[in-house]
Structure 1
Amino acid sequence: MSRVNDVGGQTGFGALRIEADEPPFHADWEARVFALNSVLVRNGVYRLDEFRDAVERMDPRQYLATSYYERWLIAIETLLAERKVLADG
């Protein structure tokens, strides 16, 4: 079963666009999410493949409605909750 993010081999998405002078982050919070993920992976809280899987497990409606780094944050929260690092509430 393919997931919403699995678009390999599909057509109709248009050509890949590379925007000149595109910043790596559009807001400070995005850079913080990137850094947080890097620290958690480096410290063995979870592996990069587990992080990718957490992004891919998102509900398709939520996946399509969120930005790239919002997906990262949701995946981080999911993994921390699953590992009981992040308390419910």
Structure 2
Amino acid sequence: MSRVHDMGGQLGFGPVPVVVGDEPPFHADWEARVFAVSAVLLRVGVFTMDEFRDAIESLPPETYLRSSYYERWLHAMEGLLEAKGLV
């Protein structure tokens, strides 16, 4: 089954941006916090990496395409925490 994240070979999405130089790992403080929270939740076993990846890849196409990299992480974590009854 092809999901929206699997864009290999598809036309119309433009070039893949190439990072040259010393780009920071996070462009905003909230991105670093999302990364940290996901690391803690993975470490304590709230969800697995496979569950997390699947949650990102299962986002609705309109959400996936309009979201930045860490926004996708945040949407996925929110969905997993809700599905597990933790929020």
Q: Same fold (TM over 0.5)?
A: yes
Aligned equivalents of 2:77, 2:4: Cα separation in 1: 19
Structure 1 length as normaliser, TM-score? 0.87
Q: CA deviation at 1:7?
A: 2.1
Q: CA deviation at 1:8?
A: 3.2
Aligned equivalent of 1:25: 26
> Mind listing any 5+ residue stretches in structure 2 that lack a counterpart?
none
Q: CA deviation at 1:11?
A: 6.0
Structure 2 length as normaliser, TM-score? 0.89
Aligned equivalents of 1:50, 1:57: Cα separation in 2: 10
Aligned-pair Cα RMSD in Å: 1.5
* Alignment coverage as a number of residue pairs: 86
Aligned equivalent of 2:4: 4
Q: CA deviation at 1:9?
A: 4.4
Q: CA deviation at 1:16?
A: 5.4
Aligned equivalents of 1:35, 1:7: Cα separation in 2: 28
